[in-house]
Amino acid sequence: MDPHTTDAVHCKLCLSDCPAPETSRLRSCGCVFCTQCLRQYVQLAIQDGAGAPITCPDLACKHPGPLLDSEIASFAPSDQVELYRRLKFERGVQLDPSKAWCPALDCQAVCSVMPNAEGRAVPVPCPACHTVFCCSCREPWEDRHACSQQQPLVVSLPSSDTEATIKQCPKCGVYIERNQGCAQMLCKSCKHTFCWYCLQNLDGDIFLRHYDKGPCRNKLGHSRASVMWNRTQVAGILVGVTIIVVVTSPLLLLASPCILCCVCKPCHRKKGEKKKKKKMTKEQKPPDSVA
């Protein structure tokens, strides 16, 4: 057996076998991939992940823990590692209800935010620029300040005339700004899909039936023809996959014995041993004597 074959590792990212010295094992789960594939994966995750934890790229991994900072530093250049650390820190501040950025434009300090025991808004002093602001609405705190909201952002009803341009993801709380486009939103931080108007979960609504009735009816932002075309494409893909599965299933069942026989190494080994024994027997057999 070729020693190079035993050392080859199958990478689930590039779907090819590569030598073991050119692979890397993740410490959190033990999965092994091509080092080059991991470099590309980590750098793309830094650019598109907005500071979210970078986990194992194998969707079937049973222990997809986050990659260590030392691993990320080994798979990405120093400038991207610095970018990831900054985005990770900013994301941590956004997800922590007890922290907030100072609202002053020329200040980047992180302030501790906590309402009083009754849940009412209280003033928060910035430790850097000493700006005092409301812990709830982030507006400057003045005498007899009347906070207009108990949360940083209030979700406007779809029927209201003025619609907020910035809202929070209903799953992870990250701020999302909508300048244009349809009402089906995808959070880049947690990959959660929801309706911009009512914040309802749309992760399983592949046909966008949410916008056919209720308060968000016809508020998707696309024409009716565009929605119908999207549903036709989704239905066509599902029907195509179903047809492929139905057609190929009997063929796979019929061909499975042949496939198993072809890949069965013990069978090939036994056949080879039988051929060798027959050949040795013929060579060792003495020639017939002539009378």
Domains, in order of start, for the chain = 1-95 (3.30.40.10), 96-152 (no CATH), 164-242 (no CATH)
| Structure token pair of residue 76 | 């990405």
pLDDT value for 152: 42
What is d(CA 196, CA 181) in angstroms, rounded to the nearest whole number? 11
Q: Which of 45, 20, 48 is nearest to 35 (CA)?
A: 20
Q: Is the dihedral of CA 30, 31, 33, 37 positive or negative?
A: negative
What is d(CA 54, CA 89) in angstroms, rounded to the nearest whole number? 14
Length of the chain: 291
pLDDT value for 4: 43
* Sequence-ordered list of residues with C-beta below 8 angstroms from that of 74, at least 6 positions apart, any chain: 24
pLDDT value for 121: 74
pLDDT value for 160: 43
Can you tell me whether residue 274 is helix, strand or coil? helix
Can you tell me whether residue 278 is helix, strand or coil? helix
pTM: 0.48
DSSP 124: E
The CB-side HSE value for 229 (13 A sphere, CA atoms) comes to 5
- Which residues in the chain show pLDDT less than 70? 1-6, 115-119, 147-165, 173, 179-180, 222-231, 256, 258-291
Question: Of 29, 61, 107, 182, which is the active-site residue?
Answer: 182
Per the annotation, the verdict on 37 as an active-site residue is no
